[in-house]
Amino acid sequence: MFDPARFIADCEAAADQGGQPAVRELMAAAVADRASATAALGEPKRAGIEVLHRSKAVTILNLVWGPHMTVMPHNHHMWAVIGIYGGREDNIFWRVLPPDARWPIEAAGASSLMPGDACSLGKDIVHSVTNPLGKLTGALHVYGGDFLKQEREEWHEETLRLGPYDSAKARRLFEESNQRLSAS
């Protein structure tokens, strides 16, 4: 049975002792049983970000993507481990190009994460995220540091120009998704 308090304590210890690979093992075990994770975290009812834990070593989020929600390319400046316990999360990975290139970034790969999947992202990864489904997607995210304090960047969805991460815009995306969800 997935126990959020135990998961938090184990992630803190793993981040200190084994780093990202150790946290990925914990994540894989946590999302292997979707029913157990959903029972412990609650069936997702709306898009949003719930902070389960925050410290200097790790930040743990219960992140629920709204139906057909897309988040523009962004970075974290720290490693991350993502585990899906319901729905699907599609990631496009981007490569930062030299300043003289036509565009600042280009797509360099992709992956689809399904329930039970765990994925590691390096500290320099740039990715965009889409929930391609017409229902909510539940995911656990563990970051190797105080993610909420970390300055980050994002790339504009139309021009792909680099700018500072806009947390107010991100909150609006979740709220707009919830408005569409309640209207359907």
For the chain, the structural domain boundaries read 4-183
The answer to whether 154 and 73 are in contact (CB under 8 A) is yes
pLDDT-based confidence at residue 183 (cuts at 50, 70, 90): confident
- What share of the chain in percent tops pLDDT 70? 100
Topology given in CATH for the domain delimited by 4-183: Jelly Rolls (2.60.120)
pLDDT in tens, 38-53: 999 999 999 999 999 9
DSSP H/E element including 54: strand 48-54
The model's pTM is 0.94
Question: How much is the pLDDT for 123?
Answer: 95
pLDDT in tens, 70-109: 999 999 999 999 999 999 999 999 999 999 999 999 999 9
Q: How many residues does the chain have?
A: 184
Distances in Å between the alpha carbon of 9 and those of 26, 52, 97, 103, 105?
A: 11, 11, 39, 43, 37
Q: Tell me the average pLDDT across 103-132.
A: 96
Q: Answer positive or negative: Cα dihedral of 138, 122, 170, 97.
A: negative
